[in-house]
Structure formats: C-alpha cells, structure tokens
Amino acid sequence: MKVLVIEDEKKINSLIRKGLEAHGFVVDSTQHGDEGYLLATTRSYDVLILDIMLPGRDGLSILRNLREKKVALPVILLTARSELNERLEGLNLGADDYLTKPFFIDELIARIHAVTRRAAGAIQSILSASDLTMNLLTREVRRGTTMIELTPREFALLEHLLRTPGRVLTRVQICEQVWDYNFDPGTNLVEVYVQRLRKKIDGSASVKLIETIRGVGYRLNAPA
C-alpha cells in the first residue's frame, strides 16, 4: 500500500513515515504543501495523510483542489485539538476521516485500512489460495490451521502475489510494488525474499503455491 504524508512538523512527519514503513507501507513524505499537492496529483497513492497548517498550499486547499479535480484519493486529515472548524470544513470538502494529534501509529494504520477498504467498496479483507489464507486486517497468515509469522516485507510480497493469482510477476515489477524501487537494485534481493517466503508458505505443504518462472519471475499458483 502506497501512502503520501504531507506534514510540516519534522518530528511527526518522520514518526509517521517510520511507523508506516515498519508495517510494510511504502511512504512518500513531504513537509511542504506545494510539493505535496504536486505529488498527490502526479503520482498514484492509496491514501493521503494530510496536515492542515502547512507552508505553501495549506491542507484544506490541497483537499479542495483534489476534489475539484475529481481525484478520489482517500484523505485522512491530521488536526490539532483546537482546529474544530477546520476539521468540519475538511469533512465537508471530502476528507474521509481525521485524526487529532497526538495519536498512536496503530490508530493511524487502523484508519488507513478503514478508509482504503471503504474506498475500494466491498473489497475483501481476506485473500486466499488453496488452503492459504491471509487476513489483511488482522495480518494473520495461515496455511491450513497453521499460523505463519511473516515480516512486514514478506507480508507485502505475499499480498502482492495473492492479488494477482496465476499472473507472472517479474523481479522488476516486484521491486517496484513491494520495495518502491523503480530501478533494478542489481542484487538478488527479490530472490532472497521469495525463497524465505516460500520456505514459510510452502515448506511442508504438498501443494506448492509459489512458482518460479525461469528467467522471468514468479507467480502464485492458484489450483482450482
């Protein structure tokens, strides 16, 4: 999941970025309203975390302009306790939710999941293939009844594979989607992660789900 954070307070900005990255999110962040607006309108994100008082374009005008341009990007406003009017105006302008500072990162993550779920309509929170299930809300992964512990990056990789069953993903695509690298890191990063994931997912199972397509990439085998 790709998140844009526009927040001018350096400390809060970096706490949010680090917190989200630790949970497997891919994060772009900026402390300036103009740069934020440019990013929001030129790149694609799953959710925008938007502060109200910002240098350059303020949060509410960013939101207003996005909605005028019919950008449907889900927006979570970060507001100070005193900013009641701004909060109400933000919701009227089409913000999806707000959080009052200070907040816990887990709370922000819960809100992100809620607004992106809502945005996608009845998007399912459980992905599965064969007897493998992945709950995107509780972040539980099971093969049959066995619970499998994954690191955030392994979780992101598996989610990506499960969202495109039967389709071959190249190493470059995986790098872009899971690591946000738009270059070939020139290492066997993807191979190493796929191997680790495969060991956890397919280790002792009779049906192997992660398939290597030699010289191309990987695919999730989706047996009927």
Decide: is 15 part of the binding site for Ca ion (CB under 5 A). Answer: no
Preceding amide of 102 cis, omega within 30: yes
Residue whose beta carbon is closest to Ca ion: 53
Task: Output 53 or 119, the one with its CB closest to Ca ion.
Answer: 53
Residues 8, 32 contacting (CB under 8 angstroms): yes
SS3 78: strand
Tokens found for residue 153: 């990056």
Residue type, 123: I
Decide: is 8 part of the binding site for Ca ion (CB under 5 A). Answer: yes
Decide: is 154 part of the binding site for Ca ion (CB under 5 A). Answer: no
The distance of closest approach from Cβ of residue 131 to Ca ion in the complex, given in angstroms and rounded to an integer, is: 48
The distance of closest approach from Cβ of residue 95 to Ca ion in the complex, given in angstroms and rounded to an integer, is: 15
Task: Output 51 or 86, the one with its CB closest to Ca ion.
Answer: 51
Give the footprint of Ca ion on residues 66-125 (CB under 5 A): none
The distance of closest approach from Cβ of residue 215 to Ca ion in the complex, given in angstroms and rounded to an integer, is: 50
Task: Output 1 or 60, the one with its CB closest to Ca ion.
Answer: 60
Binding to Ca ion by CB under 5 A, coded x per residue (else -) over 32-51, reads -------------------x
Euclidean distance between CA atoms 126 and 136, whole angstroms: 6
List the one residue out of 175, 140, 130, 133 whose CA is nearest residue 157.
Answer: 175
Which of 39, 53, 172, 189 lies at the binding interface for Ca ion (CB under 5 A)? 53
Euclidean distance between CA atoms 204 and 19, whole angstroms: 33
> How many CB atoms lie under 10 A from the CB of residue 49?
25
Q: What does the DSSP 8-state code read for residue 96?
A: -
Decide: is 205 part of the binding site for Ca ion (CB under 5 A). Answer: no
Question: Which positions lie near Ca ion, rule CB under 5 A?
Answer: 8, 51, 53
